[in-house]
Structure 1
């Protein structure tokens, strides 16, 4: 019997979307307390399987380290959920009694979520918890190379959530997975929003769906070590970040830019911390693992250790080496080390001063669709301010490991497994994406100023609600004059306290 997986996937996508839109109508009636109770139950259940899921995903994808994947799984189930509990996403989420305004959180509806091969479990958990917290239904399209671990994670989440009162169909996933089925999900009339994380090949399809898109990609982010930095600490931060899960964290550094006057000190610190400086011949051999001669990427090298990469490239490195360094002079389209390498490999650039370093960082940020994350290690607040004001980037991290600072572990940014890349125009936000990005905010404003007349000469504003409306009919010219007068008087009334 011949089975057409594309047709099966498309049909399943339609069924999931139709079920989800009906289920979400029920979910939209849930209070925040009821949603929070489900989030807590799901997080507890997944935390109990965090170790097994980490091992499963590392074995299935053959990338990263299961120990680091376990750390991410636990981070999502504990620190992230603790922060979630501080948020209100549905119902009254903010109120100003003095101004008589109120914000009402409203779920966007049905969300379609694409998950990456790099962090399949932790990202899946995070997206499911976000949807639950904000009262949205969510349909997953698993990455084909991580379908086993993603589907296993989702089965656990669905079972726990539905046992805790979640309407059936609020969380589901596509099977079999195909590009056609995923496109059907994104284009379905029931879909309100699309989340694409670490699947750049599907970004164009997501954008042509006409739906709002949250894009969380990786970045070609540099780390600048400025002359006033604590060099030893900066190097330790960079290495701990870039070797975490073998370099696949979305905000992890892809290159180092160094102030020339401290370049030798930085090189020495890198060597002391088990970094290996490759020769040009070794750089060429390693680049051949990542890219074909036409510049297209090869599969199967993301998240491999430094030892494995060197062995495959045909050169030897010391047994303690954890990071490979390629010294470069220019950012160029034909140079593989100007591109993002989701592995423990860093390019190193030396610049005369922070102004030249600034330009180099901009080149790197704009080189490959990204403008994602930039790190600066510096003790000079003036330089830090200039970087913050001028860089075309979603997030600037200061004196912290990028992988951990970006996800909110070592900074007070919102703890998130989805780091928006919106500064490059690929999505609707460059935030650390949270449940608040999955709601509409309905504004409620009570009338607090009244008008006695619309005749134009005199408009009186009262700090109370109006008792009556203007009673006589106005000509078009009278209305235009009155509106201008109203706006003028309103501006005066609103600005008056600031001028006292």
Structure 2
């Protein structure tokens, strides 16, 4: 009976929150971009002192990741957003012609539930709320049960800051009673316009909810070091990206493919940069701990550092170890290291040339239906173009740490922590998701050739032509 009561409360809460969000969005949809930007600027300034506390709460609740790395990333990302967001026009007049007539209008879609995971909780929650405000939508955060306290903490603080600056009450909110039936009520509510899913694979099928779904996922990214690459720079970038936040960056590298001719140099530089190559005995112990199956690993291992993983598996590594590496001769059907691992573990493959590396990358991407991101280190334009044309991925990272560049940091990709997963068969976008993706475009049409104006002169001319025709007929 207690379980039934909990479900009923969750369903009732869901209805109230969605309907409150609808009423608030009815007001905020008329805010112009300048007003929305003022709220965001105020938020970005006021939330800075809260980051440390938010991250501490996340680490305490989820036991995943590195507090220092999370703080660094969040502060860097918010600083980049502060520079980037004022340049974006998402709502109101987007395009005008030379005469000042509006050709395109950005329109908010309405109430958007955001289903969050228990990874990168603070950053994902903050970003979702910010792009919701930027696009004039109402955002309803649906926390992962294992990150409910942190998500609620972030949403409440952001609400307080934004409502003090004029955002309608109820425009941002958080589900406090998370049950399966409560979540279904949110997703299926008639007033829900779109669903945003971040890393939660339980809610990715648009046919279930009959709503458009944007899915932001994590990718097990293949990275190829081609012989023309600056190898030292490539290796340092890969180790930095893979070890950062204990392997939780959504686009971080997981499979490293190198040409045989440079393999010994790559391996030596990796060891100097903090990589530990596993013996067969160590590999067996690590797999017993990770228990990779069905593209998932032991949840206890998610977001843990390399030293901790080795200790728990029963072998010793240097305290300076950043990444554990399994050297594989080839990819086989049940290769456990081909499963997505959200911890600092790399699979290392050798190929004789870039053509075989290209084929290996495609197989790794298709084997697990994970066409998310791909990274390559090369100075050869021909090779880069072939990879760009043939790889079934949403984004390709060239000569940069994939974990950071995929987010748009120091890269020409849109700045976002929500990396579209359309190429994995999930959601409706393969791109980095921004505020513009939470709007639709209203197009305005004008005649291509304007009708000629009627004047007294043209009327007289028409009359004269009629008289002349009559005379000629006689």
Normalising by the smaller structure, the TM-score range is: over 0.9
Match of 1:200, SS? coil
Shift of 1:92: 0.2
Task: Check the 8 A contact 1:418/1:432 in 2, yes or no.
Answer: yes
Shift of 1:40: 1.2
CA pair 328-207 structure 1, distance change in 2 beyond 3 A: farther
In structure 2, distance between residues paired with 1:398 and 1:296: 28
CA pair 175-465 structure 1, distance change in 2 beyond 3 A: farther
| 1:94-113 → structure 2 map (5 Å cutoff) | 94-97=95-98, 102-113=103-114
In structure 2, distance between residues paired with 1:207 and 1:166: 33
Is residue 229 of structure 1 aligned with residue 229 of structure 2?
A: yes
Shift of 1:329: 2.5
CA pair 136-264 structure 1, distance change in 2 beyond 3 A: same
> Which residue number corresponds to residue 184 of structure 1?
185
Shift of 1:367: 2.3
Match of 2:442, SS? strand
> Which residue number corresponds to residue 457 of structure 1?
none
In structure 2, distance between residues paired with 1:434 and 1:81: 14
Shift of 1:163: 1.1
What do residues 392-447 of structure 1 show as CA deviations (whole Å, max 9, x unaligned)? 00000100000111011121211111111112231111111110101011011211
In structure 2, distance between residues paired with 1:109 and 1:429: 19
> Which residue number corresponds to residue 441 of structure 1?
441
Is residue 131 of structure 1 aligned with residue 129 of structure 2?
A: no
> Which residue number corresponds to residue 61 of structure 1?
62
CA pair 426-295 structure 1, distance change in 2 beyond 3 A: closer
> Which residue number corresponds to residue 78 of structure 1?
79
> Which residue number corresponds to residue 334 of structure 1?
334
Deviates more, 1:92-101 or 1:187-196: 92-101
Match of 1:35, SS? helix
Is residue 41 of structure 1 aligned with residue 81 of structure 2?
A: no
In structure 1, distance between residues paired with 2:332 and 2:197: 28
Task: Check the 8 A contact 1:110/1:139 in 2, yes or no.
Answer: yes
| 1:446-485 → structure 2 map (5 Å cutoff) | 446-449=446-449, 464-465=450-451
**TM-score scaled by structure 1?**
0.88
In structure 2, distance between residues paired with 1:117 and 1:60: 9
Shift of 1:179: 2.0
Shift of 1:75: 2.8
CA pair 333-118 structure 1, distance change in 2 beyond 3 A: farther
Match of 1:374, SS? strand
CA pair 110-433 structure 1, distance change in 2 beyond 3 A: same
In structure 2, distance between residues paired with 1:220 and 1:231: 22
> Which residue number corresponds to residue 169 of structure 1?
170
CA pair 190-69 structure 1, distance change in 2 beyond 3 A: same
> Which residue number corresponds to residue 258 of structure 1?
258
CA pair 296-79 structure 1, distance change in 2 beyond 3 A: closer
Match of 1:201, SS? coil
Is residue 395 of structure 1 aligned with residue 402 of structure 2?
A: no
Task: Check the 8 A contact 1:95/1:103 in 2, yes or no.
Answer: yes
> Which residue number corresponds to residue 304 of structure 1?
304
CA pair 325-466 structure 1, distance change in 2 beyond 3 A: farther
> Which residue number corresponds to residue 271 of structure 2?
271
Shift of 1:467: 6.0
In structure 2, distance between residues paired with 1:75 and 1:151: 23
> Which residue number corresponds to residue 488 of structure 1?
none
Is residue 351 of structure 1 aligned with residue 351 of structure 2?
A: yes
Task: Check the 8 A contact 1:101/1:445 in 2, yes or no.
Answer: no
Shift of 1:263: 0.7
Unaligned runs of 5+ in 2: 455-474
After superposing on structure 2, the runs of 4+ consecutive aligned residues of structure 1 that deviate more than 3 Å are: 98-101, 292-297, 465-468
Aligned length: 453
In structure 2, distance between residues paired with 1:387 and 1:295: 25
In structure 2, distance between residues paired with 1:254 and 1:421: 17
In structure 1, distance between residues paired with 2:293 and 2:266: 32
In structure 1, distance between residues paired with 2:292 and 2:214: 30
Shift of 1:297: 3.4
In structure 2, distance between residues paired with 1:333 and 1:99: 60
Task: Check the 8 A contact 2:306/2:324 in 1, yes or no.
Answer: yes
In structure 1, distance between residues paired with 2:201 and 2:52: 28
